Structure 1
Amino acid sequence: MGDLERELRDLSAWLETPDPPDVTARVRVRLSGPAPRRRRWHALAAAALVALLVAVLPPTRAAIADAVAGLLRFAGVSIATSPAPTLPSGNPSPLPGQRAVTLDEAQRAVRFPIRLPAKLGPPEQVLVADPDPMGACRVATLLYDGGALRVDAFDGRLNLAFHKEATPPGVAWVQVNGDFAVWVDGPHVLSYVDRAGQVRTETARLAASTLIWQDADVSYRLEGDLSRAEAIEIARSLR
Structure 2
Amino acid sequence: MGDLDRRAGDLEAELRDLSAWLATPDAPDVTAGVRDRLVRGVRRRRRWRSYAAAALAALLVAVLPPTRTAIAGALGEVLRFAGVSIATSPTPSLPTGEPSPLPSQRTVGLDEARRAVRFPIRMPSTLGPPERALVADPDGAGACRVATLLYDGGRLRLDAFDGRLDLIFHKRTNRPEVTWTQVKGNFAIWVDGPHVVSYVDRSGLVRKETARLSASTLIWEEADVTYRLEGELSEAEALAIARSLT
Give the shorter-chain TM-score range. Answer: 0.7 to 0.9
User: Runs of 5+ in structure 2 lacking a partner?
Assistant: 1-13, 16-26, 36-54, 60-71
1:47 aligns with 2:54: no
Distance 1:68 1:158 in 2: 21
Residues 180-201 of structure 1 show CA distances to partners (whole Å, capped at 9, x for unaligned) of: 1000011000000011111000
Partner-residue secondary structure (3-state), 2:239: helix
Aligned equivalent of 1:35:
none
Residue type of the alignment partner of 1:204: A
How many residues were matched structurally?
Answer: 189
C-alpha RMSD of the superposition: 2.4
Cα gap change, 1:206/1:168 in structure 2, threshold over 3 Å: closer, same or farther? same
Aligned equivalent of 1:197:
204
Aligned equivalent of 1:129:
136
What pairs with 1:79-158 in structure 2 (closer than 5 Å)?
79-158=86-165
Aligned equivalent of 2:215:
208
Residues 93-138 of structure 1 show CA distances to partners (whole Å, capped at 9, x for unaligned) of: 0000000001110010000010000111000000000011111000
Q: Normalization by structure 1: what TM-score?
A: 0.73
Distance 1:211 1:230 in 2: 10
Cα gap change, 1:156/1:162 in structure 2, threshold over 3 Å: closer, same or farther? same
Aligned equivalent of 1:220:
227
User: Runs of 5+ in structure 1 lacking a partner?
Assistant: 1-14, 17-45, 58-64
Contact kept in structure 2, 1:129 and 1:137, CA below 8 Å: yes
Aligned match for 1:183, one of 183, 186, 190 = 190
Residues 38-75 of structure 1 show CA distances to partners (whole Å, capped at 9, x for unaligned) of: xxxxxxxx526656997779xxxxxxx89674111100
Cα gap change, 1:134/1:81 in structure 2, threshold over 3 Å: closer, same or farther? same
Aligned match for 1:230, one of 213, 237, 243 = 237
Cα gap change, 1:187/1:218 in structure 2, threshold over 3 Å: closer, same or farther? same
Residues 16-48 of structure 1 show CA distances to partners (whole Å, capped at 9, x for unaligned) of: 9xxxxxxxxxxxxxxxxxxxxxxxxxxxxx526
Residues 201-238 of structure 1 show CA distances to partners (whole Å, capped at 9, x for unaligned) of: 00000000000000000000000000000000000000
Distance 2:133 2:158 in 1: 10
Deviation, 1:159, is 2.2
Residue type of the alignment partner of 1:114: I
Q: Normalization by structure 2: what TM-score?
A: 0.71
Cα gap change, 1:192/1:226 in structure 2, threshold over 3 Å: closer, same or farther? same
Residue type of the alignment partner of 1:113: P
Residue type of the alignment partner of 1:138: R
Cα gap change, 1:53/1:174 in structure 2, threshold over 3 Å: closer, same or farther? farther
